[in-house]
């Protein structure tokens, strides 16, 4: 590997963890479905695990930006090209927001869609996602661990993209 390529794999990775509508209520909202862990608990878990997961994926120096909004316009405005990847739980906007799907398409940043609950075992209106078709992958049904598995999948995706960007060796 040339110095330039190894530097590229070591570039600081900027990951946005974007939580949509009503996820601020995690921990008190329908605990039989979403559990008792708060969004703050989820953030702490991800921050604890991020460097280890990045290292396992052959990446280094990861920076997580975590945010939640109940305002769709604010949410869309926070999805910007400065990130290398997005871990996305849009909440109910998953099932309603064409605008969100269009924005993600426009940004063309790899993202993984996650849900705490198994949306396919719930009401039929939760079975459709506007955002899943454009995602690198999706995770649902593991409670807060969906974030962990989702971050791992996202980092593997980014690592693979970066490795593919490497010029082929001439030998």
The catalytic site residues sit at 34, 115
* Complex with ligand DQA: residue 19 or 162, whichever CB lies closer: 19
Instruction: Give every CB contact of residue 158 below 8 A, 6+ residues apart in sequence.
Output: 13, 57, 59, 84, 85, 110
Residue 126 makes contact with ligand DQA by CB under 6 A: yes
Part in contact with ligand DQA (CB under 6 A); list of ranges 80-88, 99-107, 113-121, 162-170: 113-121
Residue 26 makes contact with ligand DQA by CB under 6 A: no
Instruction: Give every CB contact of residue 74 below 8 A, 6+ residues apart in sequence.
Output: none
Q: Which residues pair with 114 in a beta bridge?
A: 139
Residue 22 makes contact with ligand DQA by CB under 6 A: yes
Residue 112 makes contact with ligand DQA by CB under 6 A: no
Minimum distance of ligand DQA from residue 29's CB (angstroms) = 8
Residue 116 makes contact with ligand DQA by CB under 6 A: yes
Give the Å distances, CA to CA, from 128 to 18, 25, 144. Answer: 19, 23, 21
Contact 130, 95 (CB under 8 A): yes
Task: Give 19's DSSP letter.
Answer: E
* Complex with ligand DQA: residue 115 or 162, whichever CB lies closer: 115
**What residues line the site for ligand DQA (CB under 6 A)?**
22, 89, 91-92, 94, 115-117, 119, 126
């Amino acid at each position: 590997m040339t110095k330039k390529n190894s530097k590229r794999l070591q570039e600081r990775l900027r990951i946005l963890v974007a939580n949509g509508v009503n996820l601020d209520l995690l921990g008190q909202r329908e605990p039989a479905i979403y559990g008792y862990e708060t969004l703050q608990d989820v953030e702490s878990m991800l921050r604890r695990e991020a460097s280890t997961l990045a290292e396992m994926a052959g990446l280094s120096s990861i920076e997580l930006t975590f945010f939640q909004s109940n305002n769709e316009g604010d949410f869309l405005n926070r999805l910007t090209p400065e990130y290398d990847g997005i871990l996305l739980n849009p909440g109910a906007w998953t099932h309603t927001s064409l605008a969100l799907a269009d924005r993600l398409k426009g940004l063309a940043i790899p993202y993984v869609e996650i849900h705490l609950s198994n949306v396919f075992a719930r009401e039929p209106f939760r079975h459709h996602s506007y955002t899943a078709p454009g995602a690198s992958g999706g995770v649902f049904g593991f409670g807060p661990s969906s974030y962990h598995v989702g971050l791992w999948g996202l980092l593997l995706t980014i690592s693979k993209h970066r490795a593919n960007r490497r010029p082929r060796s001439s030998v």
